[in-house]
Amino acid sequence: MSRNRVIRCAACAGRIRPQHPHIGVEDLETGVEFSYHARASCQKRCVEETVTRLEAGKVYAMHHYHSSTCPDEAPGFGCAGGCFDTPMAVAN
Ligand SMILES: [Zn+2]
Ligand SMILES: [Zn+2]
């Protein structure tokens, strides 16, 4: 599952660098994974689209890929590396 390929954000179609933080939403039936940038606007689309797919009866697993420089050993939202924007703290 870790082939070298270009990852594109399903929200804005922009490229995601693998060493930068991003979110993956994996369809557990097909193994297809949708990727999104960690920034708030793309995360918002991620949540909206995932809710729509869940309503269609799909089963998903969410993955949080942290920055390659993130110092947190058990990363998640609010990690020490500050990888993910939260909707409450949009920094422009
Ligand atoms: Zn994006
Ligand atoms: Zn992190």
Q: State pLDDT tens for residues 34-74.
A: 999 999 999 999 999 999 999 999 999 999 999 999 998 88
What pLDDT, on the 0 to 100 scale, is given for residue 78? 80
Please return the burial class of 77, using the count of CB atoms within 10 Å of its CB with bins 0-12, 13-18 and 19+: exposed
Q: Output the pTM of the full model.
A: 0.82
- CA nearest to 33, candidates 2, 77, 68, 55: 2
pLDDT band, very low/low/confident/very high, at 5 (cuts 50, 70, 90) = confident
CA of 9 to the centre of ligand 2 (A): 18
CA of 21 to the centre of ligand 1 (A): 11
| Residue 5, C-beta contacts closer than 8 angstroms, at least 6 positions apart | none
Q: Which ligand has an atom closest to residue 77 CA?
A: 2
